[in-house]
Amino acid sequence: MASSSHRRRPQPDRDFAWRPVRGPLLAVTAVAVVALVVTLAVAFRPGTAAGAAGPERAVAGSASRAAPGTATDPATPTPPTSPEPSTAAPKPSASKRTTPSASPSTAPSRRAESSTTHAASVATTTAPAAGRIRPGTTYQGVATSYDVGNGDGACSYGPTSDVMTAAMNTADYETAKACGAYVSVRAASGTAITVRITNECPAPCAVGQLDLSRQAFAKLAPLSAGRIQITWSLLSPAVSDTVSIRYKTGSTQYWCGIQAIGHRNPLARLEVRTGSGWLALPRTEYNYFLSDQGTGCGHDIRLTDVYGEQLTVPALAIRPDATQQTTLQFTRH
């Protein structure tokens, strides 16, 4: 007979499970199921501590993507979007609005600029207008001689008894700009003479060369020398005559040629007065200034020398080939 300690105790679960009456067991099971459902419903109800963390993190994530580059979501930043170009005209900044272009502070500078421009224009009109032959400059060349005949030449001054004249090489003649110039000519011996340019010496006369009248050449060297080295420079000598004006043959109110004679200094420009101001006339190689359309013919004449000095000759009658003397003369330099 086994001891009580080893006697097998009955197993109520098994015995109960196989009992034919199951009512109490079903009731217990139903209660347990209901309790489980209630527990789950409470656990997953919105707003509880367990269910709130997830939605809040999702909202935070959405916010971080909406603001790319912020510290809330550094792992997945969204690249910033380039701004769309604006088609509207840019508005001036505040600094520009406080300094308007038409303000009183800027207006005087513009007026000053306008005045400066006008002054420059006036200065250009009255500034020295020397061409190749400039005051205060010494030129080197050679001197030759020729027979001047009656003294007339390319400058169209007409016959003269003055034999102290010369013909200027074509380059320095400069379309008659040298006409009437007084030039000091010095030989290697140191002897110097003064001649007036009345003619042009074409090729083979070289730049710097003067073809002197025989009488003038003979004062520097024997005619047999034929060709000598010289230096020469522009003069502004004392003269007894005043400037004269001559209208060319055929001049009328519809076409005219004007010439100035007896000027102390070389003439740089000749202008005639018109209804709209002064008109500069083109110079010919034969030393007349032409008005092809007759503009200014018979009106006031303004002369400018190579030093920039201007003389205004009152209107003269158009008298072709007549030399009409004025009371004017350029200043001596």
Token pair for 258: 């004007």
Which helix (H) or strand (E) covers residue 119, if one does? helix 107-126
Q: How far apart (Å, rounded) are the C-alpha atoms in residues 314 and 302?
A: 9
Higher model confidence: residue 129 or residue 45? 129
Residue 291, classed as helix, strand or coil, is strand
Q: How far apart (Å, rounded) are the C-alpha atoms in residues 209 and 232?
A: 10
Which pLDDT band holds residue 129 (cuts at 50, 70, 90)? confident
Q: What is the reported pLDDT for 209?
A: 98
Whether 281 and 216 have beta carbons less than 8 Å apart is answered as no
Tens digit of each residue's pLDDT (9 = 90 or more) over 63-84: 333 333 333 333 334 444 444 4
Q: What is the reported pLDDT for 130?
A: 81
Higher model confidence: residue 17 or residue 227? 227
Token pair for 187: 């030989």
Task: Answer whether residue 35 shows pLDDT above 60.
Answer: no
Tens digit of each residue's pLDDT (9 = 90 or more) over 271-312: 999 999 999 999 999 999 999 999 999 999 999 999 999 999
* Residue in 177, 191, 269 with CA at minimum distance from that of residue 232: 191
- Burial of residue 154, with CB atoms counted within 10 A of its CB: 0-12 exposed, 13-18 middle, 19 or more buried: buried
Whether 222 and 232 have beta carbons less than 8 Å apart is answered as no
Higher model confidence: residue 113 or residue 143? 143
Whether 230 and 211 have beta carbons less than 8 Å apart is answered as no
Task: Report the share of the chain in percent with pLDDT over 70.
Answer: 62
Q: How far apart (Å, rounded) are the C-alpha atoms in residues 188 and 210?
A: 15
Task: Answer whether residue 123 shows pLDDT above 50.
Answer: no
Q: What is the reported pLDDT for 282?
A: 98
Q: What is the reported pLDDT for 225?
A: 98
Task: Answer whether residue 26 shows pLDDT above 70.
Answer: no
Sheet containing 310-313: order of strands: 277-280, 267-274, 301-305, 310-313
For residue 298, give every residue at least 6 positions away whose Cβ sits within 8 Å of its Cβ, in sequence order, or none.
253, 256, 315, 316, 317, 318
Residue 126, classed as helix, strand or coil, is helix
Q: What is the reported pLDDT for 30?
A: 54
For residue 9, give every residue at least 6 positions away whose Cβ sits within 8 Å of its Cβ, in sequence order, or none.
none
Which pLDDT band holds residue 33 (cuts at 50, 70, 90)? low
Higher model confidence: residue 58 or residue 279? 279
Interval 219-234 mean pLDDT: 98
DSSP 22: -
